[in-house]
Amino acid sequence: MLREVTATRYVEPLHTGGSVPAVVEADDLGTYVVKFTGSAQGRKALVAEVIVGELARALGLRFPELVLVHFDPAVADGEPHQEVRDLHAASAGINLGMDHLPGARDFTPEIAEVFAVDPLEAGRVVWLDALTVNVDRTVHSSNLVVWPALGVAPARLWLIDHGAALVFHHRWEGSDPGRAYDFRHHALGRYGPDVRAADAELAPKVTEELLRSIAAEVPDDWLAGDSRFATPGEVREAYVAYLHARVRSSRAWLPTDFPTARQLAEENARRAARTRQGRPDWLKRVPDLHGEPAAEQDWSVHLG
The pLDDT, as a whole number, for residue 262 is 78
From the first residue on, what is the mean pLDDT of each consecutive set of 10 residues in the chain (304 residues)?
97 85 98 97 96 98 98 96 96 98 93 93 98 94 91 87 96 92 89 96 98 98 91 97 98 87 78 72 45 34 28
The pLDDT, as a whole number, for residue 150 is 74
The pLDDT, as a whole number, for residue 291 is 39
The pLDDT, as a whole number, for residue 297 is 33
Residues paired with 250 in a beta bridge? none
Q: Are 33 and 146 contacting, i.e. CB atoms less than 8 angstroms apart?
A: no
The pLDDT, as a whole number, for residue 40 is 92
Q: Which phi and psi angles does 116 have, rounded to 5°?
A: -90, 135
The pLDDT, as a whole number, for residue 284 is 52
Distances (CA, A) of 50 to 15, 111, 141, 147, 248: 22, 27, 20, 21, 22
Q: How far apart are CA 267 and CA 284, in angstroms?
A: 19
* pTM metric for this prediction: 0.86
The pLDDT, as a whole number, for residue 304 is 29
The pLDDT, as a whole number, for residue 149 is 76
The pLDDT, as a whole number, for residue 270 is 87
Q: Are 168 and 122 contacting, i.e. CB atoms less than 8 angstroms apart?
A: no
Find how far residue 147's CA is from the centre of its chain: 16
The pLDDT, as a whole number, for residue 257 is 83
Q: How many CA atoms lie within 13 A of 99 on its CB side?
A: 15
Q: How many CA atoms lie within 13 A of 203 on its CB side?
A: 19
DSSP-H helix ranges across the chain:
43-58, 82-89, 109-114, 119-131, 195-202, 208-215, 220-223, 232-248, 250-253, 261-276, 281-284, 299-303
Question: Which of 277, 273, 276 is closest to 265 using CA atoms?
Answer: 273
